[in-house]
Structure 1
Amino acid sequence: MTFVLSRRMRYLLLSLTIGSLAALTGTVYQAKRTAADQAAFPPPGRMISAKGVNLHLYCLGSGSPTLVLEAGLGENVLSWYPVHAKLAQTMRVCAYDRPGLGWSDPIAAAIQPEAVAENLQALLHNAGIAPPFVLVGHSRGGIYVRAFYHRFPEQTQGIVLVDSTHEQSPMHQYPYAAWDYRKQALQILFAEPLSWLGIVRMLGIADADRRPSPLPAEILVAKTAIQNRTDTAHAVVNEIAVMRQGLDPTTPPPGSLGNLPLLVLTAGNLVDPDIVAREAARAGKDVETEKVLAEIQQAEQDDLARLSSHSWHIIVNNSGHFIMQDQADAFVAAVREFVLDMPLVN
């Protein structure tokens, strides 16, 4: 018996064959480039097992309390490069990578802030780094360091929030930035498969130098290599999924920090209405919408500063979201003064 394929079926089979070969080629390309990147850029710190996962911990300096740096969404220890060594001139400073980010091993499931806090505590304990800790959280990291305090208050001597995310930010922002949250939903669907196929790498979507950056070229190259890992895409998707839970109107506000020493650093460029309007017009965005979002940002930062009865709030001028990069000297001076002015803990 002879089978004759229709022209449509032949085209379909040809398309499937070409698609399968392209997917295989992309997967091999991603795997080889990832292996080459791992060989070219070894971890600057040491790998410590914590709760069954190898996490990357990078400590400089000495003394007590230990300053612990918690990076923002999808970021790693290199985001602190401009300030890490400078702060370590007068104190011990430890940055680390959450699971799947930087040089840390991945985990399958998304984790809540409380679990992030427990992982961090286990990491510090297993590394032989004793409390007290002053926790520094940038962006999404601000939620994680507050979770650490609520889980381990006796180990926390103070907190620094660096343009920190507010737990209810998604709910506050959504009516004015619905499209951004729809894009997040698309990222959750497609980021990891596109990374597996090498498409994220080939298109430079995750490259660290896609926007002007004060980071040195060699740091940007290393950061790009790390961010192009499929493990990184998986971790970022997980973090975004947890962050989007803040869209729920029942999301509770940030918890009180009592009288814990608290320093809140706010990016001046993101709350100055004139700067916001000018940048919105330059980027072709709706000026009035961006001004409303800036007002929300200012209100949230003020709210965070009220979490403690022993707080300082500094608006850092001429700085975007990455204050520790845009205004490294001002950042170091403010954090150093904050730590030096703390009461001694026995």
Structure 2
Amino acid sequence: MTFVFLRRVRYLLFGLAIACVAALSGSVYQAETTAADLAAFPPPGRMISVNGVNLHLDCMGSGSPTLLLEAGLGENVLSWYPVKAKLARNMRVCAYDRPGLGWSDPIYTAIQPEDVAKNLYTLLNNAGISPPFVLVGHSRGGIYVRAFYHQFPEQTQGIVLVDSTHEQSPMHQYPYAAWDYRKQAMQIAVAEPLSRIGLVRLLGIADADRRPSPLPAEILAAMTALQNRTDTAHAVVNEIAVMREGLDPATPPPGNLGDLPLLVLTAGNLVTLDIVALEAERSGKDVEAEKALAQIQQAEQDDLARLSSNSRHIIVRNSGHFIMQDQADEFVGVVSEFVLRIPLVNLAR
């Protein structure tokens, strides 16, 4: 009995030793490959210090107001690639990376939308980017730009919501979303330690080209390099932790925007029931559940459009969630028209 026990202990220790060596090798691989990726894909913009954290800001074009692009959950400045240069022909356009995303340095605590807005305000101030601003928020970024307006209304000249998240979205989608949010949080939480030892990179879990995309190959390669950073997984974990607070029935609705110029763009493929049903059948999902969620999505988008008495709501046909990629020309056209029609107000710092 003692001999069998000792043999099992030896096997266990041998297995642990192998695991430790593999983890150490994976960590070295992850660190070296990340460094090589960052060398191969340097930041296109400037690194600006915000409370001791370097954030990446990329601007082009000239004029006033400045169009500020706020990306969605886990995304970075490259998500705006198909539209940024085209928009900059008529105005100054700036995109940035939140902490831990894209080229920005990480922070290790979850931050509320109000703090995201304060960081953005400080970033613009430190970079010498003067108001007024027209804020463009995609998906989760829509919550952040609304938070910016409510803290700095005098600097905000208009808002564009691009298939924006609704503050109460998780609650509205209950009981469908409660498990989805928990599952998503668990998946990312598992991916974070795996990313530290290079397994996420080796398995291609975060590769940007794992699904069809209209982005060119060189942009997908850069996005893959950024998404394989360990910091990216940690940043997404932090954002999802805050998003899940929307499951609480006490979560307040989005705040009123008064008569602020507002443009709401909604992804047509996600709210058109015939398209939703076909996609659900193709992917083996519950058709009726997906149609119910599409109706909730439509109601939420309508609700966001009612936040201002001076709003326009466009459902963009043949577009998924990333409208600025799926229908780039239409996006540039309607956003440019929206910005150029806003009466220019000169604001002092």
TM-score bucket (shorter structure) = over 0.9
Task: Indicate conservation of the 8 Å contact 1:83/1:328, yes or no.
Answer: yes
Aligned pairs for 1:184-333 (under 5 A) are: 184-333=184-333
| Partner Cα separation in structure 2 for residue 303 and residue 175 of structure 1 | 20
Unaligned runs of 5+ in 2: none
Aligned equivalent of 2:183:
183
2:333 and 2:189 map into 1 onto residues whose CA distance is: 42
CA distance in 2, matches of 1:189, 1:216: 30
**Pairwise CA distance, 1:344:** 2.2
SS at match of 1:201: helix
Q: In structure 1, what is the Cα distance between the partners aligned to 2:182 and 2:141? A: 23
The residue type equivalent to 2:76 in the other structure is N
SS in structure 1 at match of 2:26: helix
**Alignment partner of 1:49: what SS?**
strand
Secondary structure in 2 matching 1:345: coil
Within 5 Å, which residues of 2 pair with 1:1-346? 6-346=6-346
Aligned-partner Cα distance in 1 for 2:179–2:251 = 21
TM-score normalised to structure 2 length:
0.97
For each residue in 1:137-187, what CA deviation from the matched residue of structure 2 results, as whole angstroms up to 9, or x when unmatched? 000000000000000000000000000000001111131244422312313
Q: Distance in 1 between matches of 2:130 and 2:53?
A: 20
Structure 1, unmatched stretches of 5+, are: none
| Superimposed CA distance per residue, residues 297-331 of structure 1 (whole angstroms, 9 cap, x where no aligned partner) | 00000000000000000000000000000000000
- Alpha-carbon RMSD: 1.3
2:238 and 2:296 mapped to 1: Cα distance?
25
* 1:191 and 1:237 in contact (8 A); partners too: no
Deviations 1:276-317 (A, max 9, x none): 000000000000000000000000000000000000000000
Tell me, yes or no, if the aligned pair for 2:58 and 2:94 is still in contact at 8 Å: yes
The answer to whether the 8 Å contact 2:188/2:233 transfers is no
Q: Give me the whole-angstrom Cα distance separating, in 1, the residues matched to 2:137 and 2:9.
A: 56
Structure 2 CA distance for aligned equivalents of residues 190 and 309 of structure 1 = 44
Would the aligned equivalents of 1:188 and 1:241 in 2 still touch at CA under 8 Å? no
Q: What is the percent sequence identity of the aligned residues?
A: 82
Q: What is the DSSP-based 3-state SS (H/G/I as helix, E as strand, rest coil) of the residue aligned with 1:93? A: strand
Give the SS at the match of 1:55: strand
Secondary structure class of the residue paired with 2:49: strand
Distance in 2 (CA, whole Å) between partners of 1:178 and 1:110 is: 20
| Equivalent-residue separation in structure 1 for 2:27 and 2:287 (angstroms) | 42
Amino acid in the other structure paired with 2:88:
A
CA distance in 2, matches of 1:188, 1:57: 26
* Rounded Cα–Cα distance in structure 2 between residues aligned with 1:211 and 1:189: 22
Counterpart amino acid of 2:93? V
Once the two structures are overlaid, the 10-residue window that deviates more, 266-275 or 197-206, is 197-206
| Range 279-288 or range 48-57, more displaced | 48-57
Alignment partners' CA distance in 2, 1:273 and 1:189: 33
**Deviation, structure 1 residue 5:** 6.0
Question: For the Cα contact (< 8 Å) 1:49–1:123, is it kept in 2?
Answer: yes
- Which amino acid in 2 is paired with 1:61? G
Cα drift, residue 71 of structure 1: 0.2
Which 4+ runs in 1 deviate beyond 3 A? none
